Structure 1
């Protein structure tokens, strides 16, 4: 400690290794302190995962607030996940998958080869008519009505495949 004009100043000295000049010790310390890792930026894969979260959440009829409360984050954080601005950690992604009742692999749909004759999940999410159909179907509370709607859609699809009308 050095005292000058009633001001106490502390002198901080780094230990100097034997036989090594002080200049090198300072340079090494500065190098170590300047090594700061930058946060990982969101990638295209993060944006794809986010859009799948958004589509599945909307199809389930959940709000961002509800999803956020269920996984322990704010609705703003859910927005950041869905927009791909922030990465979703593995454990949180598993929580989201469990809440939405889908396997976690669903979020990595383009990485998983589609079975023969099936469309990729992402292609379904990208079709606004399908998303409207899912949202409308989920809004029907009565199970009997739901079964009737499903029967109508299946009959229309069968008619189309049989070569009947139905553009």
Structure 2
């Protein structure tokens, strides 16, 4: 589990605990309302177990809050670095993976030159079947 996912899970668990106690419910009472064990509620509240979307919806109904309540005051400062391959789509990802599998440096250089020439519409060099 990533650090961000862990922090989100911990935050949601804290919000469940806060709302449950505001309503004066015990873990056992909430568990019975959800038809799960009190240990499972305990694990949700501590962030030890992840909560599915369906279960989060059930919790929002039983705790009488909107689903957005669980994410209130959540602040994640970590920005996600851009993906090495640009993350533009399956074809881009496959292209980068396949390119990275080429072990011969001269072949890699040739493929790189070919791609550069194909991607530059103003290239003064025309690619012909003979050149390829």
Runs of 4+ in 1 over 6 A off after TM superposition: none
Give the distance between the partners of 1:90 and 1:110, measured in 2 at CA: 19
TM normalised by structure 1 equals: 0.41
Query: Which residue does the alignment assign to 1:77?
Result: 40
Aligned-residue CA RMSD (Å) = 1.8
Give the distance between the partners of 1:89 and 1:99, measured in 2 at CA: 15
- Gaps in structure 2 of 5+ consecutive residues: 76-132
Give the distance between the partners of 1:55 and 1:48, measured in 2 at CA: 11
Q: CA deviation at 1:72?
A: 1.7
Structure index of larger Rg: 1
Q: Are 1:58 and 2:27 an aligned pair?
A: no
Higher relative contact order (Cα pairs below 8 Å, separated by 6+ residues): 2
Q: CA deviation at 1:110?
A: 2.9
Contact 2:8 / 2:74 at 8 angstroms: preserved in 1? no
The equivalences for 1:1-167 within 5 A come to 40=1, 43-111=6-74
Give the distance between the partners of 1:111 and 1:44, measured in 2 at CA: 9
TM normalised by structure 2 equals: 0.52
Give the distance between the partners of 2:74 and 2:45, measured in 1 at CA: 19
1:100-140 deviation per Cα after TM superposition (whole angstroms, max 9, x unaligned) = 1110100011359xxxxxxxxxxxxxxxxxxxxxxxxxxxx
Give the distance between the partners of 2:50 and 2:39, measured in 1 at CA: 13
Q: How many residues align?
A: 73
